[in-house]
Amino acid sequence: MTDREQPQIYLVTPPAFEIAPFTDRLAAVLDAHPVACLRVALASTDEYTVAASADACREVAHARDVAVVIERHVGLVGRLGLDGVHLADGARGVRAARKDLGPDAIVGAFCGTSRHDGMSAGEAGADYVSFGPVGQTALGSGAQADREIFEWWSEMIELPVVAEGALDAETVASLAPVSDFLAYGEEIWREQDAGAALGRLMAAIE
């Protein structure tokens, strides 16, 4: 896989944020690095909060030609002019989302550590699948998506694959040759200078 292109940057928002301070930080990161996609991944179940936050992120990202997907909320994609949806439950909602959003929207699917779910999502019409967490974390079940999944996927499947969850420099260096996208979220936002934090992680690829 030595001829594989360097993975693209996929950003994931924090699960909660104040709009004005965060969009300023987001703009600074997008101005500093060539980001391919932004996922708005809010934990809130308040429709106004989610919609207002996603719309503000869309405005910043689209001004810089960065695609925006929203986690779970298929119904907000058309209303807010977003580029698509990221589904967190593997292949289950992919076919319905594709039918609702049409052929041009981005439909992504998080498939945890399951190669089978990834293949099912692809067959159902997903544009990409993501596996994770790829680093050590006590959250969730603690199960990790190991490098072997990405190696196999990159050799056998054409559908783009995203590596996400608890990325550190060592994991970035390991997964870069076998991933199409690396998804950075809390790894950078918890730092005061998110752009610099992203730069340090990306430097591991070199």
What's the pLDDT tens digit per position in 142-195? 789 999 999 999 999 999 999 999 999 999 999 999 999 999 999 999 999 999
User: What's the confidence (pLDDT) of residue 1?
Assistant: 30
Give CA–CA dist 156/177, Å, rounded.
Answer: 14
pLDDT at residue 51, as a whole number? 98
> Which helix (H) or strand (E) covers residue 111, if one does?
none
Detail the DSSP E strand segments found in 21-133.
35-40, 67-71, 84-87, 106-110, 128-131
Q: What is the pLDDT of residue 4?
A: 57
* CA-only gyration radius of the chain, Å: 16
Q: Read off the pLDDT of each residue in 98-112 and give the average, rounded to a whole number.
A: 97
The answer to whether the CB of 89 falls within 8 A of the CB of 121 is no
State which H helix or E strand residue 143 sits in: none
The mean pLDDT value for 96-120 works out to 97
CATH superfamily name and code, 8-203: Aldolase class I (3.20.20.70)
Average pLDDT value over all residues in the chain: 95
Give 3-state DSSP helix, strand, coil % of the chain, rounded to 5. 45, 20, 40
- The domain spans of the chain are 8-203
Q: State pLDDT tens for residues 70-88.
A: 999 999 999 999 999 999 9
User: Average of pLDDT values for 123-128?
Assistant: 98
pLDDT band at 138 (very low <50, low <70, confident <90, very high): confident
How much is the pTM? Answer: 0.96
How far apart CA 47 and CA 35 sit, in angstroms, is 27
